[in-house]
Amino acid sequence: MKTHHQIVIIGGGTAGIMVAAQMQKKHKNLDIAIIEPSDTHYYQPAWTLVGAGTYDFKKTARPMENLIPKGVTWIKDYANGFEPEKNSVSTKSRGNITYDYLVVAPGLVMDLSLIEGLPEALGKGVVCSNYTDPEHTWDVIKNFKGGNAVFTQPTTPIKCGGAPQKIAYLAADYFRKNGVANKSNVIFATPGTVIFGVKVIKETLMKVIDRYGIHFKPFYAPYKIDADKKIVYFKNTAKGENQCVITEDNTLGETMMGEAIIEMPFDMLHLAPPQTAPKFVKESVLVNEAGWLDVDHHSLQHNKYNNIFGLGDVAALPTAKTGAAIRKQVPVVVDNILKLMKNKKATNKSYNGYSSCPLVTAYGKMVLGEFDYDNNFTPDPKLKRMLVFNSAKEHWRLWMLKKYGLPYLYWNKMMKGKDV
């Protein structure tokens, strides 16, 4: 087995496959290898719809061997360490693999230990997460008979920051359609200060929250779950801001301990688990102080090692971790590596932080939150031409895009290295 390749890519997720496919489109004779242990590749953006009972989980999975481009070497193993000074990656069972250029795109991992009681609670009874088992989420939602339906997210970065609220909207719509809404409290609790950082999207979402009567709780950071007693504990992150944390009528049955601890009873709880870079990345010399891959925000070149690039969820980029972001990051990485191959500098610094969050707000409605590093609303010109209307407002055509259009584009265009 070869132990050296021109380009080594760590990760067979969206970012890794796209880089390999686009590289091959530019130069068929490149020697590219992907290090990826999994047999199955998932289209995770559809898991929100699976959790709401409106998408088949099986359709989100494809065999990895069908997606890795022909001519690319698949090293079916775990990467577990770096020696960047020696241009080397260590693997679990195949020893060291050396490279001329390295692309680090292993995604992120769930770290359930960061919320006390979460490892014991998740996936059992009424505690669920679309991030780990969307089919269980659907079971919990359809079996919910009333009470507090709590939706929350952690203080760590997470993939698709809008996902924890999307399922709250779909659940609220489902409860309303099935006669459960009048005996339910839907709560969305977030450590953040606003429902969404882009002003025009925030305005639309606050109307959605009002329509469903959702209890919106900013400054709520979950840190402990007691699954037996059905209580979730939050820390108030307001830090001196004059926030009325518990409302006067307190229909939710919250109790306050001291100035910063809130107990909230629940009858169902959906949350995004805390998420971090994989251990072998987090413990390497390639990360910043927060433990994410330290790359230039615009060129995606590593800030210390010129022949290393990083993109996707593992990268320390101040934007949302989404497939839409990766779609804009990949051409920059590909272009810069090709420049280095010609003994030029990686001068492509065109990535502006673009990401997008398809925010489903009801069965049959969606808003498309597109933004850059400065939280400007930045509709993609191609999509804008196709959609014609204002994507910051709810529309049924955006739902059709989410359910049918985006999966088609993903499997048939993005994964094959074609322009989207």
**pLDDT tens digits, one per residue of 35-64:** 999 999 999 999 999 999 999 999 999 999
User: CB neighbours (10 Å) of residue 377?
Assistant: 16
Looking at residue 390, its pLDDT comes to 86
Can you give the pLDDT at residue 240? 61
357 given a catalytic annotation: yes
pLDDT-derived band at 412, boundaries 50, 70, 90: very high
Do the domains at 4-108+277-349 and 113-274 have one common CATH topology? yes
Given this model, what pLDDT does residue 341 score? 97
Domain boundaries, the chain: 4-108+277-349, 113-274
CATH 3.50.50.60 correct for 4-108+277-349:
yes
Annotated catalytic residue: which of 18, 208, 357, 406? Answer: 357
53 torsion bin: left (phi>0), alpha (psi -120 to 50), beta (else): left
| 388 pLDDT higher than 80 | no
Q: What's the confidence (pLDDT) of residue 407?
A: 97
DSSP 132-147: T-HHHHHHHHHH--SE
Per-residue pLDDT band for 244 (boundaries 50, 70, 90) equals low
Task: Supply the mean pLDDT for the chain.
Answer: 95
160 catalytic, yes or no?
A: yes
Structural contact between residues 107 and 315, judged by C-beta atoms closer than 8 angstroms: no
So what's the pLDDT on residue 291? 98
pLDDT bracket for residue 362 (50, 70, 90): very high
Average pLDDT over residues 284-292: 98
pLDDT of residue 259: 79
Q: Per-residue pLDDT tens for 124-149?
A: 899 999 999 999 999 999 999 999 99
> What class has domain 113-274?
alpha beta
Number of Cβ within a 10 Å radius of residue 42: 14
Pairing verdict, β 255-257 and 261-265: antiparallel
Which of the following is catalytic: 9, 149, 160, 333?
Answer: 160
- C-alpha–C-alpha distance, residues 20 and 337, integer Å: 12
pTM: 0.96
Q: What percent of the chain has pLDDT over 70?
A: 96
